[in-house]
A and B are shown apart, each in its own frame.
Chain A
């Protein structure tokens, strides 16, 4: 008997607890998990995501498309002109891929599905979580971002699938990390705490986190906001040129929050040279942020996508820039709706953690962190996640999402997901006949 046995016991319990199948008793689960969920991630959505992570397909009878927030994605649905039985399009031939660089310079990169993984930093999440995500990204042929906490060397074997993030704290940013990444992500702001930089509270700044970030153990880390070299659009241009000088072939993604003039920000970013503009909506998650900022600051993503897409079309530059949406994208249907509103694709955060047994309890920043080993670097807790298991769970979820996207496109009579972009006319208020 050794310490590992405890971990194994709990790990096995947790893994079986979130393994769901058609035999699982949903009514029973609803009773036991009565306190689970909230308006965005409802009990049904969380449990359905566990199911999808177990089976690789959507559940038959449980809610897996929308939450309970009464607005945004939850207030709209597709007005399908066809049914699946009509078989207007053969689902096998549907193309879910998108390009991540539409400018004439820089490497051409495309991914076989319209999503990649959002940045979650080492320190805010465990290495096991990062490895699960990046392994899944490799299997899926897409990318995962390192977040702002530096580039752990354990990720190097997967570097073809890693996006390195340069954020305001500049943690772990070196010429090498920029040179060796296929895509570089500049995090100007973050939806969950617009106007604020990253927060990593002292109990989570462990020895290894401190080393990675070039800081001191046990000292809280607050990243500044904004980049202190960027206070105007001409500064932004110089900033992007700095990255492109170090790595001329990597497309650059600019991650921004959603102010009321997001359309101007986006077009300014385009002129400054961005390849990807990543709108991070106000309802996204984070390791730690003031509650007042999450709810009250900046425009919800659904409005921002629409505003930005429409404006870029008007300016005549929409097809040169890739618009990615993130911040609270929970299901395959949210992704499809975001694309219909005008995004090229989505960047997925929390939805990749639910398969790993996340219950949206919000304890991420406290003390040692997450009790299932996701949002922590505590060595004991981190061992609760086996990254092979984690990768499989995430891949299963995306397999289920792919099935759903194909079903959606088939019912819209579309052969490629790129046809869906900007088709706001296919969306209607939920519950109202078209």
Chain B
């Protein structure tokens, strides 16, 4: 019986580890004296009518329809968490009420995750929403942020107008496939030889985190989420041996742990970092082998050589802010260069590129794929979705850490499943707007990527960002 790929979401993945004061963007403040004065004035005005229920109700009717003043004492003790920043109370009583941004809402110091203060939403709060609900955030009004920005914010994805069709509303009749086949494929098919690839139902994998960015609970939750969804979790071999469910785990080998490979019976694919010896160990199971290489000035030469030598795919990682490790280049340019270098030597469609590092929000996924990746790896988003806090500015993976605490693994699983469901839906939104029905056709499709650097040059002859 055919079932279209769908991730079931959980509606019980409520905030658990954040302080209440950190969850709301607005702080309504009422001057108690002003309120008392106002009530007294109204009471005098109404006079006898106060004896009627209607009179009292009239005097006590609140300006807030969201329940901020819903306590019996009303404005004397506002329910701050309910404030949506609609400002109606300030409009009605500008001398008595103030609504400000809540400084506790901006609780991270990392400039990639908390690029600004005093906004109603941050990347962190967005991820929390997605992990809590599994839904796409839908709101009224338009986009309220900066015109463009750096990094992924300097890109827009294209859409299809009337000339090409897209999808039938939110619940479409059309099929949009998000499946990816990672690994080596032949240029043309030999029907006798099998094609062995790592097949995931969506182009998002969980990537391994350095020691200080994770713990046993996080890894467990991640593994369980990967298993439930059908995607994969790349994790260091020594940790893989501690987690069960080998069919979702892609062990990461290096020169220190490569000998442990014999402890594993099988692996759906293997990733490695290092030289030929490690590569050979990685080939133990005859499953796809991906070379993990950093995004730096050498990435094109390094990656092309590895592909020519026979590696089944590359996993390119930038730093946690999406930048090259040794130059001021953003990931999208590195991916484009690598993609086109492989097109030039005729090998691009025969191998896969996984990209991670600085891919933290749902909107980055299609942009990274359009720039040249086949799939992306989640890293810092995992602890954020689990309500962990990053310590300081986390740029270099090995130097990054989270504020450690325990984790309810079942809850963690639900949060990550919800997150993936939301990201999957959002990927489909973007693809359907573009009129592309298969994510495998999206890789490197730069014709559908609108880059601010290029169009603003046509506009006023210079980049205006």
Does the CB pair B161–A371 fall under 8 Å?
no
Does the CB pair B432–A195 fall under 8 Å?
yes
Interface residues of A in 344-374 (CB under 8 A from B): 350, 357, 359-366, 368, 370-372
Does the CB pair A32–B158 fall under 8 Å?
no
Does the CB pair A297–B464 fall under 8 Å?
no
Does the CB pair B169–A222 fall under 8 Å?
yes
Interface residues of A in 8-33 (CB under 8 A from B): 9-10, 13-14, 17-18, 28-29, 31-33
Which chain A residue shows the least CB distance to B367?
A: A296
Note all chain B residues with C-beta closer than 8 A to A262.
161
Note all chain B residues with C-beta closer than 8 A to A203.
none
Given contacts A232-B163, A306-B459, contact A292 B362 (CB under 8 A): yes
Given B57, B84, B120, B169, which contacts A38 in the complex, CB threshold below 8 Å? B120
A290 an interface residue at 8 Å Cβ cutoff? Answer: yes
B66 an interface residue at 8 Å Cβ cutoff? Answer: yes
B370 CB → nearest A CB, Å: 11
Does the CB pair A14–B88 fall under 8 Å?
yes
Note all chain A residues with C-beta closer than 8 A to B66.
363, 371
Does the CB pair B92–A10 fall under 8 Å?
yes
Does the CB pair B91–A18 fall under 8 Å?
yes
CA distance A1 to B54 in the complex (A): 6
Which chain B residue shows the least CB distance to A257?
A: B159
Note all chain A residues with C-beta closer than 8 A to B64.
371
CA distance A75 to B94 in the complex (A): 32
B157 an interface residue at 8 Å Cβ cutoff? Answer: yes
CA distance A364 to B142 in the complex (A): 11
A72 CB → nearest B CB, Å: 5
Given contacts A35-B85, A290-B136, contact A298 B147 (CB under 8 A): no
Mark each residue of chain A from 51 to 88: 1 if its CB lies under 8 Å from any CB of chain B, else 0: 00000000000000000011110111000000000000
Does the CB pair B464–A429 fall under 8 Å?
yes
Note all chain B residues with C-beta closer than 8 A to A371.
64-66, 86, 88
Interface residues of B in 145-188 (CB under 8 A from A): 145-148, 155-171
Interface residues of A in 228-243 (CB under 8 A from B): 228, 230-233, 235-236
Note all chain B residues with C-beta closer than 8 A to A6.
57-58, 61
CA distance A295 to B367 in the complex (A): 13
B437 an interface residue at 8 Å Cβ cutoff? Answer: no
A294 an interface residue at 8 Å Cβ cutoff? Answer: yes
Which chain A residue shows the least CB distance to B64?
A: A371
Note all chain B residues with C-beta closer than 8 A to A256.
161-162
Note all chain B residues with C-beta closer than 8 A to A75.
147, 464
> DSSP class of B's interface residues: helix, strand, loop or mixed?
loop
CA distance A74 to B144 in the complex (A): 13
Note all chain B residues with C-beta closer than 8 A to A224.
168-169
Which chain A residue shows the least CB distance to B167?
A: A225
Task: Pick the interface stretch among A146-154, A173-181, A281-289, A317-325.
Answer: A281-289
CA distance A189 to B165 in the complex (A): 12
Given contacts A33-B99, A297-B156, A429-B460, contact A226 B166 (CB under 8 A): yes
Note all chain B residues with C-beta closer than 8 A to A290.
136-138, 426, 429
B463 CB → nearest A CB, Å: 10
Does the CB pair A10–B158 fall under 8 Å?
no
Interface residues of A in 184-235 (CB under 8 A from B): 188-189, 192, 194-197, 199, 201, 222-228, 230-233, 235
Note all chain A residues with C-beta closer than 8 A to B97.
32
A265 CB → nearest B CB, Å: 5
Interface residues of B in 288-338 (CB under 8 A from A): none
B91 CB → nearest A CB, Å: 3
Mark each residue of chain B from 50 to 72: 1 if its CB lies under 8 Å from any CB of chain A, else 0: 00101101100101111000000
Note all chain A residues with C-beta closer than 8 A to B159.
189, 194-195, 257-259, 297-298
Does the CB pair A223–B169 fall under 8 Å?
yes
Given A1, A189, A287, A370, which contacts B52 in the complex, CB threshold below 8 Å? A1
Does the CB pair A300–B139 fall under 8 Å?
no
CA distance A290 to B430 in the complex (A): 10
CA distance A235 to B162 in the complex (A): 9
CA distance A228 to B243 in the complex (A): 50
Task: Pick the interface stretch among B199-207, B253-261, B270-278, B450-458.
Answer: B450-458
A88 CB → nearest B CB, Å: 26
CA distance A332 to B309 in the complex (A): 61
Given A1, A195, A228, A372, which contacts B434 in the complex, CB threshold below 8 Å? A195
Task: Give the number of residue pairs across the A-B interface with Cβ within 8 Å.
Answer: 301
Note all chain A residues with C-beta closer than 8 A to B162.
188-189, 226-227, 230-233, 235-236, 256, 265
Given contacts A260-B448, A296-B156, A306-B458, contact A199 B170 (CB under 8 A): yes
Given contacts A6-B61, A34-B100, A188-B161, contact A289 B138 (CB under 8 A): yes
A225 CB → nearest B CB, Å: 6
B398 an interface residue at 8 Å Cβ cutoff? Answer: no
B98 an interface residue at 8 Å Cβ cutoff? Answer: yes
Note all chain B residues with C-beta closer than 8 A to A41.
144
Mark each residue of chain A from 259 to 301: 1 if its CB lies under 8 Å from any CB of chain B, else 0: 1111011001000000000000011111111111111111110
B109 an interface residue at 8 Å Cβ cutoff? Answer: no
A375 an interface residue at 8 Å Cβ cutoff? Answer: yes
Given contacts A71-B146, A295-B143, contact A17 B138 (CB under 8 A): no
Given B55, B63, B170, B462, which contacts A196 in the complex, CB threshold below 8 Å? B170
Given B49, B92, B142, B156, which contacts A298 in the complex, CB threshold below 8 Å? B156
Does the CB pair B140–A286 fall under 8 Å?
yes
A36 an interface residue at 8 Å Cβ cutoff? Answer: yes
CA distance A312 to B276 in the complex (A): 58
A169 CB → nearest B CB, Å: 9
Which chain A residue shows the least CB distance to B173?
A: A224
Note all chain A residues with C-beta closer than 8 A to B170.
196, 199, 222
Given A17, A71, A282, which contacts B90 in the complex, CB threshold below 8 Å? A17
Does the CB pair B168–A225 fall under 8 Å?
yes
Which chain A residue shows the least CB distance to B456?
A: A303
CA distance A74 to B296 in the complex (A): 35
B407 an interface residue at 8 Å Cβ cutoff? Answer: no
A239 CB → nearest B CB, Å: 9
Does the CB pair B465–A259 fall under 8 Å?
no
Given contacts A39-B144, A225-B167, A297-B159, contact A361 B86 (CB under 8 A): yes
Note all chain A residues with C-beta closer than 8 A to B139.
288-289, 291, 362-366
Note all chain B residues with C-beta closer than 8 A to A39.
144-146
Which chain B residue shows the least CB distance to A375?
A: B140
Note all chain A residues with C-beta closer than 8 A to B101.
34-35
CA distance A283 to B156 in the complex (A): 12
B198 an interface residue at 8 Å Cβ cutoff? Answer: no
A307 an interface residue at 8 Å Cβ cutoff? Answer: yes
CA distance A380 to B169 in the complex (A): 31
Which chain A residue shows the least CB distance to B425?
A: A290
Top 3 nearest A-B pairs (CB, nearest first) are A364-B140, A71-B147, A195-B433
Taking beta carbons and an 8 Å cutoff, which residues of A are in contact with B?
Answer: 1-2, 5-6, 9-10, 13-14, 17-18, 28-29, 31-36, 38-41, 69-72, 74-76, 188-189, 192, 194-197, 199, 201, 222-228, 230-233, 235-236, 256-262, 264-265, 268, 282-300, 302-303, 306-307, 327-328, 350, 357, 359-366, 368, 370-372, 375, 381, 424, 427-429
6 A-B pairs whose Cβ atoms sit less than 8 Å apart in the complex: A31-B98, A32-B95, A233-B162, A236-B163, A290-B136, A359-B88
